[in-house]
Amino acid sequence: MDKKLLGIDLGGTTIKFGILSLDGEIQQKWSVETNILDEGSHIVPDIIESINHHLDMYKMPQEQFVGIGMGTPGTVDLEKGTVVGAYNLNWKTTQHIKDEIEKGTGIKFAVDNDANVAALGEAWKGAGNNSDEVVFVTLGTGVGGGVISNGELLHGQGAAGEIGHMNVHPNGYLCTCGGHGCLETYTSATGVVHIARDQAEKYAGSSQLKAALDNGTDISSKDVFDTAKQEDPLALRVVDEVCYYLGMASANIAALTNPEYIVIGGGVSAAGDFLLDRVVANFKQFAFPTIRESTTLRLAELGNDAGLIGAASLALKLQ
């Protein structure tokens, strides 16, 4: 009987499940909506029910699974398998998810936070090329990440990988964390739009992006990159600023950890090589010479599956 891994990517709108082979191939995938009512108290029972239902349907016994791994928002206690402060799940108090899921499914369980788990996924089966030295940076609504070195995720005192809160501009934009000039304020989807609004005010020339902003059109980070690709001069300036900060932060990350790969993912990274090439140019400007040659920046490859695959990889350690 081939042993399997079960991965769960728990998000604020859906819970994704996957059954994977031990070498990380997704063999079954399904998802359910996240029911955050009643302080998120339905979430864990829903997960248990969905797993038991599917294993029953697929006629797969518990013993076939090395374990279940899950990525979750919030602050995770790895050893206890608890989560606290996952506000988009309405989890305000400590949730004993490991105990409950192990009891409910009869399968061993491990959990880590969603950015760390996505880092594991990209490192294992994505752009990280199964290297032991990978840093993952995800540019979404916020900016997060995970650091893998010596083949292990770094947790530090629990909050390692807060890449979005590295400072790139001491007097820069106000961040939700209370600081000024965090990377997130410039390179998240909202940061890109913030830069666009700022630069548009100062920009005098002709620009499709400026016209849209002046018209009060609600623009997205994607709009900025799309107009930049059409050589809109203002949009190009915005992209240059985004890539400048991301290149500098990548150089600082690499000075400290010198990974084989820095993998850039998340919604903003959908701009592809147009983004990457500009980030790399700035990275090379800021990076220490030996690091410039030994750390490579790449685009993420797994998209939404990174979390599922990385979550499943947590289960590998339960063997």
Question: Of 165 and 298, which CB lies nearer to its own copies in the complex structure?
Answer: 165
Smallest distance from its own copies to CB 274, Å: 23
Question: Of 168 and 234, which CB lies nearer to its own copies in the complex structure?
Answer: 168
Smallest distance from its own copies to CB 213, Å: 27
Question: Of 37 and 256, which CB lies nearer to its own copies in the complex structure?
Answer: 256
- Rounded to whole angstroms, the Cα distance separating 125 from 103 reads 30
291's CB contacts (< 8 A; 6+ apart) are: 251, 254, 255, 258
Q: Which residues of 222-244 are buried (b: 16+ CB within 10 A; e: fewer)?
A: ebbbbbbeeebebbbbbbebbbb
- Rounded to whole angstroms, the Cα distance separating 54 from 71 reads 19
Question: Of 54 and 180, which CB lies nearer to its own copies in the complex structure?
Answer: 180
How many CA atoms lie within 13 Å of 89's alpha carbon, on the beta-carbon side?
Answer: 27
Smallest distance from its own copies to CB 145, Å: 8
Q: Are the beta carbons of 258 and 289 closer than 8 angstroms?
A: no
- Rounded to whole angstroms, the Cα distance separating 276 from 262 reads 11
Question: Of 176 and 304, which CB lies nearer to its own copies in the complex structure?
Answer: 176
DSSP letter for each residue of 94-106:
-B-HHHHHHHHHS
Smallest distance from its own copies to CB 268, Å: 19
Question: Of 17 and 173, which CB lies nearer to its own copies in the complex structure?
Answer: 173
Q: Which of 123, 127, 164 is nearest to 145 (CA)?
A: 164
Binding site for its own copies (CB under 8 A): 75, 133, 147, 149-150, 152, 154-163, 165-167, 170, 177-179, 182, 248, 251-260, 285-291, 294-295
Tell me which residue has tokens 């409910």.
104
Instruction: Take residue 159 and report the two structure tokens written for it.
Output: 């909050």
Smallest distance from its own copies to CB 224, Å: 22
Question: Of 41 and 149, which CB lies nearer to its own copies in the complex structure?
Answer: 149
Tell me which residue has tokens 């930049």.
228
Question: Of 181 and 307, which CB lies nearer to its own copies in the complex structure?
Answer: 181
Smallest distance from its own copies to CB 171, Å: 12
Amino acid present at 25: E
| Helices (H), ranges, the chain | 37-40, 43-57, 97-105, 114-125, 184-187, 189-202, 208-214, 221-229, 233-257, 273-286, 289-294, 305-316
Q: Are the beta carbons of 280 and 248 closer than 8 angstroms?
A: no
Smallest distance from its own copies to CB 180, Å: 9
Smallest distance from its own copies to CB 30, Å: 34
Helix (H, G, I), strand (E, B) or coil at 38: helix
